[in-house]
Protein backbone atom coordinates (compact mmCIF):
# COMPACT_ATOMS: atom_id res chain seq x y z
CA UNK A 1 0.00 0.00 0.00
CA UNK A 2 1.47 3.32 -1.02
CA UNK A 3 1.77 6.04 1.70
CA UNK A 4 -0.60 9.00 1.35
CA UNK A 5 0.90 12.23 0.15
CA UNK A 6 -0.47 15.58 1.38
CA UNK A 7 -0.70 18.18 -1.32
CA UNK A 8 0.32 21.49 0.36
CA UNK A 9 -1.94 23.32 -2.09
CA UNK A 10 -4.93 21.17 -1.07
CA UNK A 11 -4.53 20.08 2.58
CA UNK A 12 -6.88 17.49 3.98
CA UNK A 13 -9.86 18.42 6.14
CA UNK A 14 -8.18 16.80 9.19
CA UNK A 15 -5.13 19.00 8.75
CA UNK A 16 -7.29 22.08 8.33
CA UNK A 17 -9.22 21.24 11.48
CA UNK A 18 -5.96 20.74 13.35
CA UNK A 19 -4.60 24.09 12.17
CA UNK A 20 -7.84 25.86 13.06
CA UNK A 21 -7.84 24.35 16.54
CA UNK A 22 -4.23 25.41 17.08
CA UNK A 23 -5.01 28.92 15.85
CA UNK A 24 -8.02 29.14 18.15
CA UNK A 25 -5.94 27.98 21.12
CA UNK A 26 -3.14 30.45 20.35
CA UNK A 27 -5.71 33.23 20.05
CA UNK A 28 -7.29 32.23 23.38
CA UNK A 29 -3.89 32.32 25.11
CA UNK A 30 -3.08 35.71 23.62
CA UNK A 31 -6.43 37.16 24.70
CA UNK A 32 -6.00 35.74 28.19
CA UNK A 33 -2.55 37.33 28.44
CA UNK A 34 -4.01 40.64 27.23
CA UNK A 35 -6.74 40.53 29.88
CA UNK A 36 -4.18 39.70 32.57
CA UNK A 37 -1.97 42.59 31.45
CA UNK A 38 -4.92 45.00 31.44
CA UNK A 39 -5.97 43.82 34.90
CA UNK A 40 -2.46 44.29 36.26
CA UNK A 41 -2.27 47.76 34.70
CA UNK A 42 -5.61 48.70 36.28
CA UNK A 43 -4.45 47.37 39.66
CA UNK A 44 -1.21 49.33 39.46
CA UNK A 45 -3.09 52.47 38.47
CA UNK A 46 -5.52 51.99 41.37
CA UNK A 47 -2.67 51.43 43.83
CA UNK A 48 -1.01 54.63 42.58
CA UNK A 49 -4.15 56.76 42.86
CA UNK A 50 -6.34 55.28 45.59
CA UNK A 51 -5.98 54.69 49.31
CA UNK A 52 -5.82 50.97 50.01
CA UNK A 53 -7.63 51.14 53.37
CA UNK A 54 -10.63 53.28 52.44
CA UNK A 55 -10.75 53.09 48.65
CA UNK A 56 -10.81 56.89 48.46
CA UNK A 57 -8.58 58.90 46.12
CA UNK A 58 -5.15 59.35 47.67
CA UNK A 59 -2.95 62.45 47.91
CA UNK A 60 -1.64 62.08 44.35
CA UNK A 61 -5.08 61.84 42.72
CA UNK A 62 -6.39 64.62 44.96
CA UNK A 63 -3.58 66.94 43.83
CA UNK A 64 -4.22 66.07 40.18
CA UNK A 65 -7.91 66.95 40.57
CA UNK A 66 -7.17 70.12 42.51
CA UNK A 67 -4.70 71.31 39.89
CA UNK A 68 -7.19 70.50 37.12
CA UNK A 69 -9.81 72.73 38.76
CA UNK A 70 -7.65 75.85 38.76
CA UNK A 71 -9.32 77.72 35.89
CA UNK A 72 -7.64 80.76 34.34
CA UNK A 73 -11.02 82.15 33.21
CA UNK A 74 -12.32 82.50 36.80
CA UNK A 75 -15.99 82.34 35.92
CA UNK A 76 -18.45 82.30 38.87
CA UNK A 77 -19.25 78.63 38.23
CA UNK A 78 -15.55 77.77 38.53
CA UNK A 79 -15.55 78.62 42.24
CA UNK A 80 -15.13 75.74 44.66
CA UNK A 81 -14.28 75.17 48.30
CA UNK A 82 -11.37 73.12 49.59
CA UNK A 83 -11.87 71.53 53.02
CA UNK A 84 -9.20 70.04 55.25
CA UNK A 85 -10.68 67.58 57.75
CA UNK A 86 -8.95 66.24 60.84
CA UNK A 87 -10.66 63.78 63.17
CA UNK A 88 -11.08 64.72 66.84
CA UNK A 89 -10.41 61.95 69.34
CA UNK A 90 -9.16 59.43 66.79
CA UNK A 91 -5.68 59.08 68.32
CA UNK A 92 -7.15 58.07 71.67
CA UNK A 93 -9.32 55.41 70.01
CA UNK A 94 -6.40 54.11 67.96
CA UNK A 95 -4.12 53.96 71.01
CA UNK A 96 -6.65 52.42 73.41
CA UNK A 97 -8.58 50.10 71.09
CA UNK A 98 -5.80 49.10 68.70
CA UNK A 99 -5.01 49.76 65.04
CA UNK A 100 -7.59 47.26 63.76
CA UNK A 101 -10.39 49.22 65.43
CA UNK A 102 -8.79 52.45 64.26
CA UNK A 103 -8.83 51.18 60.67
CA UNK A 104 -12.53 50.31 60.98
CA UNK A 105 -13.23 53.84 62.24
CA UNK A 106 -11.38 55.35 59.27
CA UNK A 107 -13.35 53.17 56.85
CA UNK A 108 -16.63 54.25 58.44
CA UNK A 109 -15.60 57.91 58.28
CA UNK A 110 -14.74 57.49 54.59
CA UNK A 111 -18.17 55.98 53.85
CA UNK A 112 -19.99 58.71 55.76
CA UNK A 113 -18.04 61.49 54.11
CA UNK A 114 -18.73 60.01 50.69
CA UNK A 115 -22.44 59.77 51.49
CA UNK A 116 -22.58 63.38 52.69
CA UNK A 117 -21.07 65.00 49.60
CA UNK A 118 -22.42 65.42 46.11
CA UNK A 119 -21.54 63.23 43.14
CA UNK A 120 -19.52 66.02 41.57
CA UNK A 121 -17.38 66.50 44.67
CA UNK A 122 -14.16 64.72 45.63
CA UNK A 123 -13.32 63.27 49.03
CA UNK A 124 -9.79 61.94 49.51
CA UNK A 125 -7.64 60.59 52.31
CA UNK A 126 -4.28 62.28 52.68
CA UNK A 127 -3.03 59.84 55.31
CA UNK A 128 -3.61 59.02 58.97
CA UNK A 129 -6.87 60.62 60.07
CA UNK A 130 -6.61 63.48 57.58
CA UNK A 131 -9.20 63.80 54.83
CA UNK A 132 -9.94 66.48 52.27
CA UNK A 133 -12.98 67.49 50.24
CA UNK A 134 -13.18 69.48 47.03
CA UNK A 135 -16.72 70.83 46.86
CA UNK A 136 -17.46 72.01 43.32
CA UNK A 137 -19.42 75.21 42.73
CA UNK A 138 -19.64 75.78 46.49
CA UNK A 139 -19.06 79.40 47.50
CA UNK A 140 -20.23 81.88 50.09
CA UNK A 141 -19.95 81.49 53.86
CA UNK A 142 -23.60 80.49 54.34
CA UNK A 143 -23.44 77.70 51.76
CA UNK A 144 -20.12 76.46 53.14
CA UNK A 145 -21.59 76.47 56.66
CA UNK A 146 -24.59 74.37 55.57
CA UNK A 147 -22.32 71.90 53.77
CA UNK A 148 -20.03 71.52 56.79
CA UNK A 149 -22.89 71.19 59.26
CA UNK A 150 -24.31 68.26 57.31
CA UNK A 151 -20.95 66.47 57.09
CA UNK A 152 -20.00 67.12 60.73
CA UNK A 153 -23.39 65.84 61.84
CA UNK A 154 -22.94 62.63 59.87
CA UNK A 155 -19.45 62.03 61.28
CA UNK A 156 -20.60 62.72 64.86
CA UNK A 157 -22.98 59.77 64.91
CA UNK A 158 -21.77 56.84 67.08
CA UNK A 159 -19.68 54.28 65.17
CA UNK A 160 -20.93 50.79 65.94
CA UNK A 161 -19.33 48.82 63.08
CA UNK A 162 -16.60 47.64 65.47
CA UNK A 163 -19.00 46.05 67.96
CA UNK A 164 -18.55 49.02 70.29
CA UNK A 165 -20.08 52.48 70.32
CA UNK A 166 -17.29 54.90 69.49
CA UNK A 167 -17.44 58.64 69.00
CA UNK A 168 -15.18 60.83 66.89
CA UNK A 169 -15.55 64.47 66.03
CA UNK A 170 -14.20 66.35 63.02
CA UNK A 171 -12.60 69.75 62.48
CA UNK A 172 -13.15 71.32 59.05
CA UNK A 173 -10.94 74.04 57.61
CA UNK A 174 -12.35 75.72 54.50
CA UNK A 175 -10.79 77.90 51.82
CA UNK A 176 -12.72 79.06 48.77
CA UNK A 177 -11.22 79.38 45.29
CA UNK A 178 -10.42 81.99 44.11
CA UNK A 179 -11.52 84.15 47.08
CA UNK A 180 -8.96 82.68 49.49
CA UNK A 181 -6.27 81.62 47.06
CA UNK A 182 -5.60 81.59 43.35
CA UNK A 183 -3.10 78.72 43.29
CA UNK A 184 -2.78 75.30 44.88
CA UNK A 185 -0.12 76.22 47.45
CA UNK A 186 -2.00 79.23 48.79
CA UNK A 187 -5.36 77.49 48.89
CA UNK A 188 -3.90 74.45 50.68
CA UNK A 189 -2.13 76.62 53.24
CA UNK A 190 -5.28 78.64 53.95
CA UNK A 191 -7.48 75.54 54.32
CA UNK A 192 -4.90 74.08 56.70
CA UNK A 193 -4.83 77.29 58.77
CA UNK A 194 -8.63 77.26 58.96
CA UNK A 195 -8.60 73.64 60.12
CA UNK A 196 -6.27 74.51 63.01
CA UNK A 197 -8.62 77.36 63.86
CA UNK A 198 -11.46 74.83 64.15
CA UNK A 199 -9.26 72.63 66.35
CA UNK A 200 -8.44 75.60 68.58
CA UNK A 201 -12.16 76.35 68.92
CA UNK A 202 -12.65 72.94 70.56
CA UNK A 203 -13.11 70.72 67.54
CA UNK A 204 -16.19 69.20 65.94
CA UNK A 205 -16.80 72.46 64.11
CA UNK A 206 -15.59 74.32 61.03
CA UNK A 207 -13.78 77.53 60.21
CA UNK A 208 -13.66 79.46 56.96
CA UNK A 209 -10.35 81.12 56.23
CA UNK A 210 -9.89 84.79 57.01
CA UNK A 211 -6.85 87.08 56.97
CA UNK A 212 -6.98 87.22 60.77
CA UNK A 213 -5.73 83.63 60.92
Q: What is the spatial distance between Cα 55 and Cα 46, in angstroms, rounded to a whole number?
A: 9
Measured CA distances, 70 to 56, 66, 123, 139, 184 (Å)? 22, 7, 17, 15, 8
Where do runs of H (alpha helix) occur along the chain?
13-49, 59-68, 90-97, 99-116, 141-156, 184-200
Residue 11's CB is within 10 A of a number of other CB atoms, namely 13
Contact 152, 206 (CB under 8 A): yes
Contact 162, 104 (CB under 8 A): yes
Measured CA distances, 9 to 5, 6, 12, 16 (Å)? 12, 9, 10, 12
Q: Is 129 a catalytic residue?
A: yes
Catalytic residue, chosen from 51, 86, 121, 129, is 129
Active site residues: 129
Amino acid sequence: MEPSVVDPQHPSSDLLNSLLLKYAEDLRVLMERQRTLESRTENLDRMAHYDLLTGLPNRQLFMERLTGMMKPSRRPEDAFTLMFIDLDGFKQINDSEGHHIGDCVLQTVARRLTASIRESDTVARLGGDEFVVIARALSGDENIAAFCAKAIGALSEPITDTGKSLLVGSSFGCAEYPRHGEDEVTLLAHADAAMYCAKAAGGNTFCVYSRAM
